[in-house]
Amino acid sequence: MFAELVERSAARSGSWLCVGLDPRPEQIPASFGSTAHGMLRYVQWLVGETAPWAAAYKANLAFYLRWGPPGLRALQRIVECIHAEAEGPLILDAKWGDISSTAAAYAAAAERLGVDAVTCSVYMGEDAVTPLLAKGLFAFVLTLPSNPSSQEVVDHGHPPLYLKVTELAARLERERPGQVGLVVGATRPTAAGEVHRAAPHLPWLVPGVGPQGGQLAQVLEAAPSHVSLVNMSRAVAGAADPAVAARQLAQQIRAARERA
């Protein structure tokens, strides 16, 4: 299961870093070329450079769909590469969320790609999640997004919507232990603390550190003491030396967790 894969990978790497694999064309060195095959070779190289310090990887589906069918084939190869060479799990960041019949089709797609976990939205209620869980996937439920405009939606109501989502995710986790976590942005440490108090046992996937303005130390003070993967995409892929960047970020995350 995903949680066990993460625990083993974190123990091996001494890290809770999740490396984002979002191949933006402008970040791919010219030496790899401008084709889907070049993108594949670039991402495989990035995995090889960062594997010693990564507890997990996250691939945003949009950055592969933009290449069409070759991009999806490349994504499947990348999943295989991560499992074989990095010996870690891959999270497919698709933010799926639809009625149960469509969610079942999404789950079948995730199974064919071989990913270990997915991100999803629960605007459709539990119907959007349970088919994913039935396939044995781990679901990170979008709870507290990192982008500012999301507040217009997720802060609505009393209690706010993000706490209702937290309650739903906690109930689903009781029904499917070890298969549900939360996406909690680092840009909102106060709200993150409320989420943790509402469901202290759920693991987090934490985006928003770095270019989006999130402060690592602040959010980890509110984070669960167990699995909280901190995702870094541009801070690694955009670095002059991704291996050095991954090592430094892994060390910073470990130090912040120890202080929290």
Q: Cα separation of 256 and 153, whole Å?
A: 30
Q: Output the CA torsion sign for 216, 217, 220, 225.
A: positive
At residue 210, the pLDDT reads 62
At residue 3, the pLDDT reads 85
At residue 167, the pLDDT reads 97
DSSP per-residue codes, 226-257: S-EEEEESHHHHTSSSHHHHHHHHHHHHHHHH
At residue 31, the pLDDT reads 94
Number of domains in the chain: 1
Phi, psi of 5 (to 5 degrees): -60, -45
Q: Mark the ranges of the chain whose per-residue pLDDT is less than 70.
A: 210-215, 222-227, 259-260
At residue 215, the pLDDT reads 66
Here the tokens at position 236 are 């690694």
At residue 126, the pLDDT reads 96
Query: What is the number of helices (H) and of strands (E) in the chain?
Result: 12, 8
At residue 208, the pLDDT reads 73
For 47, the domain range is 2-259
Predicted TM-score (pTM) of the model is 0.94
At residue 85, the pLDDT reads 84
Catalytic center residues: 95
Q: What is the DSSP letter of 214?
A: B
* CATH number of the domain residue 122 falls in: 3.20.20.70
